[in-house]
Amino acid sequence: MSRLKDLQKNLFGGTTSNARQFGMIFTLVAIVVLFQILTDGLTLRSDNLIALFNQNSYILILAIGMLMVIVAGHIDLSVGSIAAFTGILVAKSMAEWSLPWPVAILFGLVIGAIIGAWQGFWVAYIGVPAFIVTLAGMLLFRGGNQFIGNANTIPVPEGFRLIGSGFLPEVGPSTGYNNLTLLLGLASCVAVVWREFQARKTRREMNADPAPMWISLLRLAVMVGVIVFASLRFASGRVGTSFPVSGIILVVLVLAYSFYTRNTAGGRHIYAVGGNSRAAELSGVKLKRVNFFVMMNMAVLASLAGMIFVARSAASGPQDGNGWELDAIAAVFIGGAAVAGGIGTISGSIVGGLVMAVLNNGLQLLGVGTDRVQIIKGLVLLLAVALDVYNKSQGRFSVIGSITRSFRRDTPTPPTSSSDAEREPARTAVSG
């Protein structure tokens, strides 16, 4: 009993959004297993995994930026249009002005920064709601894309395609696997182990008991297992394929932004602004600067996503990025963010995005048409959030919390004050 309790406390303890994320990880695993069975093992085959990453990395990159926008209490509807706008300009810059492709990428990022500054100016300094600013931006930059490209498609050169459809190259001795991918997997394993022990050390320095050793080991075993499995799969694909470059860009961004949002003062300020902007302001947080930054950052990431997409499809077209904003927003909310702001994590949003991606991919493998896929995705979004809202309104903490409730009896948490009970249930993750 006590082991179960430990497990529950250490995996699902902490904030409610934390618990929801673990709920989402379970959902993700369940969906993967389900489709693995339904598709007779097609889902986890190397080529499918690689395709899955290639097709979704840009949405996941958008989800990173969107998470920060939503945590700060805003929304961005313009990301698809910004992606398309940047895409066409970058494509044109290479086709007509013959910019070398690395310069073109920089050029694209600068365009993103300028667009972001434009939108951030209206949101942060004029005070126009982000919904309106980015709705305008959505029209503005979609029109801009079609105006510049004459509603035509512009192809991009070979070198540029690397960021969208490139893979880690083959180097070193012939092992039957892609060596670099294996190396990457090994490095990840080491990093995961190091991090876990670092976390234990931190807990001890806080005079708090770290999780029991067996929990740490179990957690490590699961994570290392997943990494090893994934690296072997990615490394053993068709010759010439391996871990995609866009996947590497994604992983780097996830690590960097996770660190930024969790461990830096700047990241903390975003949560403070979203949680209570007035309180943040009165604590010395520069509200306008934070709002400007999240909007600008989103546009830069949207530009990057647009370029990756253009690189993958080898050309920029007038319909690029249609509906991306909704995919990114859905990923963030499935991943546990609050509509009112202040709650949410990068990793949660990535998991949320993966749930949608696997669902999409699995249904397509099963031959389900896009019409029905959309219906299912819509329902999944609604149910994922509704279940959590419902659980909180029942005074439970989360799906997982409620499953393991019966085990909790032997931990009589001292009621800090009975006044919690008098209050309305704390703000649920999603309701305003």
Partner 1 sequence: MSDVPILLEMRSITKEFPGVKALSDVNLVVRAGEIHAICGENGAGKSTLMKVLSGVYPYGTYDGQIIYQGAETRFSDIRSSEHAGIVIIHQELALIPHMSIAENIFLGNEPRKRGAIDWKAANRMALDLMARVGLQEDPDTLIKDIGVGKQQLVEIAKAFAKDVKLLILDEPTAALNEADSRHLLDLLRGFQSRGITSIMISHKLNEIEAIADQITILRDGRTVETLDVKADGADEDRIVRGMVGRELSSRFPDHTPKIGEVFFEVRDWNVRHPISAERQVCKNESFVVRRGEIVGFAGLMGAGRTELAMSVFGRSYGVYESGTIIKDGKEIVLKSVADAIAHGLAYVSEDRKAIGLNLLDDIKASTVAAKLSKISRHGVLDEVAEYQAAEAYRKELRTKAPSVDESVSKLSGGNQQKVVLAKWMFTDPDLLILDEPTRGIDVGAKYEIYGIIQRLADQGKGVVVISSELPELIGLCDRIYTVFEGTITGEIARQDADPETLMKQMTSTKKMQTR
Question: By C-beta, is 126 or 208 nearer to partner 1?
Answer: 208
Pick between residue 14 and residue 129 the one whose CB is nearest to partner 1.
Answer: 14
Distance (Å, rounded) from C-alpha 113 to C-alpha 125? 17
Contact between 78 and 123 under an 8 Å Cβ cutoff? The reply is no
Regarding 279 and contact with partner 1 (CB under 8 A), the answer is yes
Residue 213 within binding range of partner 1, rule CB under 8 A: no
| Sign, CA torsion 393/396/399/403 | negative
Is 198 one of the binding residues for partner 1 (CB under 8 A)?
no
Residue 9, interface with partner 1 (CB under 8 A)?
A: no
Residue 432, exposed/middle/buried by CB under 10 A (0-12, 13-18, 19+)?
A: exposed
Alpha-carbon distance of 185 to 230, in angstroms, equals: 8
The C-alpha atoms of residue 139 and residue 123 are separated, in whole angstroms, by 17
Among residues 1, 126, 208, 239, the one that binds partner 1 under rule CB under 8 A: 208
| DSSP code for 167 | B
Q: How far is the CB of 341 from partner 1 (least distance, A)?
A: 9
The reply on whether position 171 binds partner 1 by CB under 8 A is no
Window 224-263: residues binding partner 1 (CB under 8 A) = 263
Interatomic CA distance for residues 179 and 201, integer angstroms: 33
Instruction: Name which position in 127, 173, 176, 395 contacts partner 1 (CB under 8 A).
Output: 395
Q: Which of 268, 326, 364, 365 binds partner 1 (CB under 8 A)?
A: 268
Number of residues that bind partner 1 (CB under 8 A): 42
Can residue 406 be called a binding residue for partner 1 (CB under 8 A)?
no
Part of the chain binding partner 1 (CB under 8 A), chosen from 3-11, 206-214, 324-332, 368-376: 206-214
| Exposure class string for 175-199: b at 16+ Cβ within 10 A, else e | eebbbbbbebbeebbeeeeeebeee
HEC-encoded secondary structure of 396-409: CCCHHHHHCHHHHH
With CB under 8 A as the contact rule, the residue among 213, 239, 421, 432 that binds partner 1 is 421
- Cα 32 to chain centroid distance, Å, stands at 18
410 binds partner 1, rule: CB under 8 A: no
Tell me the closest approach of the beta carbon of residue 143 to partner 1, in angstroms. 36
Site residues (vs partner 1, CB under 8 A): 14-15, 202, 205-208, 263-266, 268-269, 271-272, 275-276, 278-284, 286, 342-343, 395-396, 413-423, 426-427
